[in-house]
Chains A and B, each alone.
Chain A
Amino acid sequence: GDSVTQMEGPVTLSEEACLTINCTYTATGYPSLFWYVQYPGEGLQLLLKATKADDKGSNKGFEATYRKETTSFHLEKGSVQVSDSAVYFCALKPPTGGFKTIFGAGTRLFVKA
């Protein structure tokens, strides 16, 4: 079945370091892909999305490119801030299959000052 696999955390970085969180997926056809972020004590919120191959989603300095050939949607940021400390979830919505969004396990990011 459809699934999402993320790199295990926690990831600990110093401020201004580069970030990459790997995400790969298994799905038939062309799913829509998402990154959600969960700050401490809050619910998840959509960070960025891509709906077709080679699309690049971007928001708040974060980027992810939909790579069909490698079934990947890695999250990147060139310079992280302490305020980026959160849990990041990769997710997909299958091209068919109604209302289900499938989430990865989440990757916790700690950014040190």
Chain B
Amino acid sequence: DAGVIQSPRHEVTEMGQEVTLRCKPISGHNSLFWYRQTMMRGLELLIYFNNNVPIDDSGMPEDRFSAKMPNASFSTLKIQPSEPRDSAVYFCASSLDRFYTGELFFGEGSRLTVL
């Protein structure tokens, strides 16, 4: 079975450019999470969706960040405009549980470098 699929794996862009990260969750999973990982702050939850609806976006750093989930098999995380401090690895994760038990299935991550 395919796991969580993220693209691109690596992105290098210049400050001010728009960045779009993509995620395909595991088929049948009803919850989707976006995390950001940096050396300084560790793993931070940015936003999560349940049944395609954003439930909690309190972790989104600022208005430059936005996330959508137009259907059960696709989600995007957009940064516009990007800044060097956004450089990080962004992970998408999904979960099957109807009553969420904390088990997450992670993608391989998208490493973003903003110059």
Contact = CB atoms under 8 A, between A and B. Distances in A.
Check if A and B associate: yes
Interface of A: 32, 34, 36, 41-46, 49, 51, 89, 91-93, 98-101, 103-106
Contact of A92 (B4, B48, B95, B102): B102
A103 B56 contact: no
Contact of A32 (B31, B48, B101, B108): B101
9 contacts: A36-B104, A41-B108, A43-B4, A43-B108, A44-B43, A49-B102, A98-B55, A99-B33, A100-B48
B102 A101 contact: yes
B103 interface: yes
Contacts, number: 57
Interface in B84-114: 91, 93, 95, 100-109
B45 interface: yes
B65 to A, nearest CB: 18
A40 to B, nearest CB: 11
Nearest to A106: B42
B60 to A, nearest CB: 14
Contacts of B109: 42-43
